[in-house]
Amino acid sequence: MNIIYSQESIFHLYRLGSVVNKKTKRKYKLSNKAELNALIRYCERSGDALIKDQFKKFIASVDADTVSNMGLSGLILGQSAGQMQRQLA
């Protein structure tokens, strides 16, 4: 499934990549689909408060259909996506 992100959500992905890079010294190439997906998965499961905060901002910038597609494709946990959408509403 090909997921298309808005310009705003791409901005938040770049911010996520920067935060993760500073914390872990691991650089994710957002132009590489596998690395982009790995970044999203890492951030969703992270216990770090700064990463969680930035991930919530990313999810808030993604429309509900895209979040649903992310869950259906296994990119994010469906339960996690639903919880975040409810928190942001």
> Is residue 84 situated within a structural domain?
yes
> Is residue 43 situated within a structural domain?
yes
Question: The domain containing residue 65 runs over which residues?
Answer: 7-88
> Is residue 60 situated within a structural domain?
yes
Task: Determine the Cα–Cα distance for residues 49 and 65; give it in Å rounded to an integer.
Answer: 26
Torsion of CA 51, 32, 79, 24, to 10 degrees: -30
> Is residue 16 situated within a structural domain?
yes
Report which secondary-structure segment, H or E, holds 77. none
Identify whether the C-beta of residue 76 lies closer than 8 Å to the C-beta of residue 70. Answer: yes
> Is residue 1 situated within a structural domain?
no
Number of structural domains in the chain: 1
The model carries a pTM of 0.84
> Is residue 2 situated within a structural domain?
no
Predicted confidence at residue 2, as pLDDT, reads 84
Q: pLDDT (tens digit, 0 to 9) for every residue of the chain, 89 residues total?
A: 789 999 999 999 999 999 999 999 999 999 999 999 999 999 999 999 999 999 999 999 999 999 988 988 889 986 555 555 555 55
> Is residue 81 situated within a structural domain?
yes
> Is residue 65 situated within a structural domain?
yes
Predicted confidence at residue 79, as pLDDT, reads 54
